Amino acid sequence: MYQVRPYRPQDRKAVWTLAADTAFFGAPVEQFLDDRALFCAAFVACYTDHELARLWVAESSGAVAGYVMGCSDSRRRTRIFGTHILSTVLRGMLQRRYHVGRKTLRFGLRLLQELLERAIPTVPLERFPGHLHVNVGAQARGRGIGRALLETCLAQFWVTGVSGVHVMTTDHNRAACHLYETLGFRLLDARQTRLWRGLVAGEVQNRAYGIMSDW
Ligand SMILES: CC(C)(COP(=O)(O)OP(=O)(O)OC[C@H]1O[C@@H](n2cnc3c(N)ncnc32)[C@H](O)[C@@H]1OP(=O)(O)O)[C@@H](O)C(=O)NCCC(=O)NCCS
């Protein structure tokens, strides 16, 4: 049994752990980064520390088994990243608070390449201003938790007047693509990426899906 409920500040550690444990196509982030604290500071803190109202967790046997975190205004998230997150991460790197080894340098360079090669799908933000990320722990998958989290988060978006929401994923996140498509998301853009070359078998396609409240 599980229960979907709003995030509480005391869930922060569990959500950070789960985010790091599932960051690599559902497996731990250490497959491509040296330090999970760096990953969470860069990619999770913007939600747990700035967008608490759009965060939901699934609790099972007293533990956080999954979460969905979103933002109603993706441009605002980009601004928070520029004004708060980036400086915290860079300061932490300068103070040697994070382990920055070969994996991290390779990932950083590839991310840069990804931006230069325009491998990130485009999303018309005026139509799909909101976005979300969903992850469920490996032991808890296949029990309906991901679908329940997404339905709860989408219902909150619609009731609070957000007209459209997008998600970023890849064709290798098969369960996620299936869930988005069966919930009514439509593919907005897809682009081949070299980000994961040598880390997963075969070519990977970045995908952006979108859904609107009146579809
Ligand atoms: C995607 C994820 C959040 C789904 O959570 P979940 O609790 O396992 O999802 P549910 O149990 O609600 O539903 C899973 C659905 O995917 C389907 N599914 C599972 N594995 C699948 C696969 N390999 N290919 C296609 N569909 C698959 C299930 O049949 C089920 O569909 P149904 O409800 O129509 O029967 C979870 O698997 C996860 O965290 N995966 C790893 C990280 C990830 O991909 N996150 C999303 C990043 S964009």
Sequential pLDDT tens for the chain (215 residues):
999 999 999 999 999 999 999 999 999 999 999 999 999 999 999 999 998 889 999 999 999 999 999 999 999 999 999 999 999 999 999 999 999 999 999 999 999 999 999 999 999 999 999 999 999 999 999 999 999 999 999 999 999 999 999 999 999 999 999 999 999 999 999 999 999 999 999 999 999 999 999 99
Q: Say if residues 132 and 69 touch (Cβ distance below 8 Å).
A: yes
CA–CA distances in Å: residue 156 to residues 74, 121, 134, 159: 16, 25, 15, 5
Q: Say if residues 129 and 162 touch (Cβ distance below 8 Å).
A: yes
The C-alpha atoms of residue 27 and residue 93 are separated, in whole angstroms, by: 24
User: So where are the chain's domains?
Assistant: 3-212
The C-alpha atoms of residue 181 and residue 207 are separated, in whole angstroms, by: 12
Query: For residue 93, what pLDDT is reported?
Result: 95
Q: How far apart are the CA of 135 and the centre of ligand 1, in A?
A: 9
Query: For residue 52, what pLDDT is reported?
Result: 86
Query: For residue 197, what pLDDT is reported?
Result: 95
Beta strands 164-170; 186-193: pairing state: unpaired
Q: How far apart are the CA of 101 and the centre of ligand 1, in A?
A: 32
Query: For residue 195, what pLDDT is reported?
Result: 96
Whether 134 lines ligand 1, by a CB cut-off of 6 Å, is yes
Beta strands 55-60; 63-71: pairing state: antiparallel
pTM of this structure: 0.96
Nearest to 200 by CA among 164, 182, 174: 174
CATH of span 3-212: 3.40.630.30
Most ligand 1 atoms within 8 A of CB, residue of 136, 154, 169 to mutate: 136
Q: How far apart are the CA of 141 and the centre of ligand 1, in A?
A: 7
Q: Angle at Cα 114 formed by Cα 47 and Cα 29, nearest 5°? A: 50
The C-alpha atoms of residue 58 and residue 190 are separated, in whole angstroms, by: 30
Whether 206 lines ligand 1, by a CB cut-off of 6 Å, is no
CA–CA distances in Å: residue 10 to residues 63, 125, 140: 12, 32, 21
Query: For residue 192, what pLDDT is reported?
Result: 97
Q: How far apart are the CA of 129 and the centre of ligand 1, in A?
A: 24
CA–CA distances in Å: residue 147 to residues 28, 139, 175: 22, 16, 10
Query: For residue 103, what pLDDT is reported?
Result: 97
Token pair listed for 38 = 């760096």
Most ligand 1 atoms within 8 A of CB, residue of 64, 68, 141 to mutate: 141
Q: Give CB contacts under 8 A, 24+ apart, made by 10-15.
A: 11/57, 11/64, 11/67, 12/48, 14/57, 14/63, 14/64, 15/44, 15/48, 15/55, 15/57, 15/64, 15/67, 15/69
